[in-house]
Chains A and B, each alone.
Chain A
Amino acid sequence: RKEVEQDPGPFNVPEGATVAFNCTYSNSASQSFFWYRQDCRKEPKLLMSVYSSGNEDGRFTAQLNRASQYISLLIRDSKLSDSATYLCVVNNQAGTALIFGKGTTLSVSS
């Protein structure tokens, strides 16, 4: 089983839609969780950290369920500029690496 699993998509949504991505992780000892965004042929960039109590940054909401080892990202009022690949990231047990999922591709159309 992969350490971090995501639905690869693609998710094709119209502008203004709400879309949710899910991610599961296998290492119950993981302590740090993130969502990164990667545009085509670009490097990954941090979108937001994920905290136990859940957190929101504008149109983006991240949630963590430690019991189910599950992370989610909700994007409200999708914009064309949200089109990208969203990577779920979890640290390894030793804290020496960030482990990435394969990514979920989002395409927002007008």
Chain B
Amino acid sequence: GAGVSQSPRYKVAKRGQDVALRCDPISGHVSLFWYQQALGQGPEFLTYFQNEAQLDKSGLPSDRFFAERPEGSVSTLKIQRTQQEDSAVYLCASSQGQRNTEAFFGQGTRLTVV
């Protein structure tokens, strides 16, 4: 695939349900980012991986949010016990270098918690 791929594109979860969002970055990209974008807002940083190492998770809003990238490629963002305020688009981005290089975004997963 040529770009960053995310799945599912849309997810409806009942409040309290756990969800897992998947990101396939561009092959060979070292850096991977997760962002949360609420309606009318800019993307808010959640977490950053350099290969398999999670170097920054300062943006994760609570301990219900967990991300992993065990083999330095595919990443999963997991949200436990979803709440209505978790409803947003979750964007994954990858970049070739370790920092300061162009980040390419996936189309996002639109999560709606009902």
Contacts and interface: CB of A to CB of B under 8 A. Distances in A.
B59 A97 contact: yes
A100 B42 contact: yes
B63 interface: no
Given A96-B55, A100-B43, A100-B44, A45 B99 contact: no
B102 interface: yes
Interface stretch (A14-22, A53-61, A69-77, A87-95): A87-95
**Contact-size category for B:** 20 to 34
B41 A43 contact: no
A44 B100 contact: no
A94 B105 contact: no
**What secondary structure prevails in chain A residues at the interface with B?**
loop
A103 B91 contact: no
Contacts of B40: 102
A98 interface: yes
Contacts of B58: 97
Contacts of B102: 34, 46, 49
Interface of A: 4, 31-32, 34, 42-46, 49, 87, 91-92, 94-103
